[in-house]
């Protein structure tokens, strides 16, 4: 490599400011995740290891309920796929951005969470002069990952020592999904699939019970989306009819949470 | 703490990790940047998120006992506070922190 020395550090310096909002958010969420597991009786290394291995915020919370429920590998795997399916979209949007970056590409994709996606997607347009692009994006990815994993570790260690009653802290997960749901709602002009998710899940919960309603719900959602694809495409696939371009699908559509 | 034997815990976590990695890596493995993204994928990518988030909200409420007191009142109030604050301020962390705090007060004090 013919790069001047210190280009990694320069990229880190350029990347850090972009990650400060994520630091604040992850410090709270990751910590809450660690405390949440701690309060449920898990040793401190559980949230740390799960944060490190899974690295997908909302799924990690759900994974805790999977550990507390009877073992059901297929249902867990399918639910995890469904929760994480939105990442497919991030990959499509950053497909070209991540090209030709060699080994860094693996780590960039590995750590491509909602927040990292939105930061990189906005930052790559106004990259500071003379900064190594690959390292810049890699630092953003690693910094965010580090914030999350360390906060989870800290929450797992401190959790039980918190000088107040933590009953009900698990509601942080509910409120997180309420906020994400609302953000998505506010972002969309057409709310069919938002209602579909709520109603399909609500009725399947009533029909099948808390232990086994997820797979029927997922099946209903997918079936409705596939059967009603033609009329729904008008709302969820703008310009589908006229422009069949090679552009990555509406990258500006979502900004993670 | 969980009743699961360790191997089942490890398997559950690894399956979650595998599912996550599949969704992150798949586009890079499957699609060629020279060809257009399949319309079905774009359609699902736009239509699914709202449904998934709705499903996840219900998922969080799956263990609420609606038939017995307090009939899910702490959950509904907590959600109303979270949502109301969020529609007002659009500050994710504020909405979550206050909503969770209200819920904790409700289950520890008011409806305890």
**DSSP calls for chain A:** --PPTTHHHHHHHHHHHHHHHHHHHHHHHHHHHHHHHHHTT--THHHHHHHHHH--HHHHHHHHHHHHSPP-HHHHHHHHHHHHTTHHHHHHHTTTTTTT-THHHHHHHHT--HHHHHHHHHHGGGPPTT--HHHHHHHHHHHHHHHHHHHHHHHHHHGGG-SS--TTTTHHHHHHHHHHHHHHHHH-S--HHHHHHHHHHHHHHHHH-TTS-HHHHHHHHHHHHHHTHHHHHHHHSTTTTT----SPTTGGG----
The answer on pLDDT for A164 being more than 80 is: no
Residue of B14, B19, B48 lying closest to A193 (CB–CB): B48
Cβ partners under 8 Å of residue A198, min gap 6 = B54, B55, B57, B58
Is residue A32 a contact partner of residue A172, using CB atoms and an 8 Å limit? yes
Which residues of chain A neighbour B55 with C-beta distances below 8 Å?
82, 197-198, 200-201, 214, 217-218, 221
B5: closest CA of chain A, how far (Å)? 9
Residues of chain A with C-beta less than 8 angstroms from the C-beta of B42: 92, 237, 240, 249-250
**Are the beta carbons of B35 and A246 separated by less than 8 Å?**
yes
CB B59 within 8 A of CB A212: no
Extract the tokens encoding A77.
């795997």
Among B36, B57, B86, B109, the residue to mutate for chain A (most A Cβ within 10 A): B57
Q: Could you report how far apart the first and last alpha carbons of chain B are, in Å? A: 23
Residue B54, CB half-sphere, CA atoms under 13 Å: how many? 24
pLDDT at A1 over 80: no
Burial of A181 (0-12, 13-18, 19+ CB in 10 A): buried
Facing B107 at nearest CB: one of A168, A188, A218: A168
At residue B74, the pLDDT reads: 95
Specify the higher pLDDT residue, A25 or A141: A141
Mean per-residue pLDDT, A59-77 = 91
Tens digits of per-residue pLDDT, A78-95? 989 988 877 876 787 777
Q: What is the 3-state secondary structure (H, E, C) of B41-94?
A: HHHHHHHHHHHHHHHHHHHHCCCCCCCCCCCCHHHHHHHHHHHHHHHHHCCHHH
Give the Cα separation of A191 and A179 in Å (integer).
16
**A148-167 as b/e: b if 16+ CB within 10 A:** bbbbbbbbbbebeeeeeebe
Residue A110's closest CA among A82, A80, A134, A142? Answer: A142
Is ipTM over 0.90?
no
**A48/chain B closest Cα distance in angstroms:** 12
pLDDT at A243: 44
Given CA atoms B88, B94, B96, B97 in this order, what sign does their dihedral have? negative
Q: Is the distance from CB of A91 to CB of B30 less than 8 angstroms?
A: no
Q: Which residues of A touch B106 (CB under 8 A)?
A: 168
Q: Are B80 and A224 in contact (CB under 8 A)?
A: no
3-state secondary structure of B39: helix
- Least CB-CB distance to A54: which of B13, B96, B104? B13
What is the average pLDDT across A167-183? 83
Q: What is the mean pLDDT of chain A?
A: 83
Judged by phi (left if over 0) then psi (alpha if -120 to 50, else beta), residue B72 lies in left
Predicted pLDDT at A3: 53
Q: How far is B36 from chain A (nearest CA, A)?
A: 4
Contact call for residues A181 and B57 (beta carbons, < 8 A): yes
**Mean pLDDT along residues A111-118:** 84
Under DSSP, is residue B33 helix (H, G, I), strand (E, B) or coil? coil
Give pLDDT tens digits for B69-104: 899 999 999 999 999 999 999 887 789 889 999 999
Distance of CA A2 to the CA centre of its chain: 36
Residue whose tokens read 């702490």: B74
- At A239 the pLDDT is 63
User: Burial of A127 by CB count in 10 Å (0-12 exposed, 13-18 middle, 19+ buried)?
Assistant: middle
In chain B, residues with a C-beta closer than 8 Å to the C-beta of A245 are 36
- What residues in A contact B33, CB-CB < 8 Å? 95-96, 99, 246
């Amino acid at each position: 490599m013919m790069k001047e020395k210190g280009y990694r550090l320069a990229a880190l310096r350029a990347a850090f400011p972009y990650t400060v909002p994520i630091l604040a958010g992850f410090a709270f969420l990751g910590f809450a995740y660690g405390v949440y597991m701690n309060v449920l009786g898990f040793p401190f290394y559980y949230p740390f290891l799960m944060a490190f291995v899974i690295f997908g915020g909302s799924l990690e919370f759900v994974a805790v309920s999977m550990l507390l429920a009877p073992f059901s590998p297929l249902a867990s795997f399918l639910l995890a796929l469904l929760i994480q399916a939105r990442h497919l979209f991030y990959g499509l949007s950053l497909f070209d951005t991540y090209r030709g970056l060699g080994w860094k590409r693996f780590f960039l994709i590995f750590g491509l969470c909602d927040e990292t996606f939105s930061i990189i997607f906005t930052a790559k347009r106004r990259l500071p002069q003379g900064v190594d692009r690959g390292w810049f994006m890699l630092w953003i990815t690693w910094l965010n990952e580090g914030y999350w994993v360390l906060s989870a570790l800290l929450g797992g260690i401190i959790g039980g020592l918190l000088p107040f009653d933590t009953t009900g802290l698990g509601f942080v997960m509910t409120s997180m999904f309420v906020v994400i749901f609302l953000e998505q709602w506010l972002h969309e002009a057409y709310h069919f699939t938002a209602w579909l998710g709520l109603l399909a899940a609500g009725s399947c919960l009533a029909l099948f019970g808390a232990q086994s309603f997820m797979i029927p719900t997922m099946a209903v959602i997918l079936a409705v989306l596939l059967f009603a694809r033609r009329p729904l495409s008008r709302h969820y696939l703008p310009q589908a009819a006229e422009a069949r371009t090679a552009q990555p699908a509406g990258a500006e559509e979502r900004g993670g949470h | 703490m969980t009743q699961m034997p360790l191997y089942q815990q490890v398997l559950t976590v690894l399956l979650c990790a595998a599912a996550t990695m599949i969704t992150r890596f798949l586009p890079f493995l499957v699609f060629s940047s020279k060809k257009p993204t399949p319309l079905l994928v774009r359609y699902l990518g736009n239509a699914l998120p709202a449904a998934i988030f709705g499903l996840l909200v219900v998922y969080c409420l799956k263990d609420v006992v609606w038939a017995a007191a307090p009939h899910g009142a702490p959950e509904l109030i907590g959600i109303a506070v979270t949502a109301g604050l969020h529609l007002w301020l659009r500050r994710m962390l504020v909405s979550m922190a206050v909503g969770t705090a209200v819920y904790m007060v409700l289950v520890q004090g008011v409806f305890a």
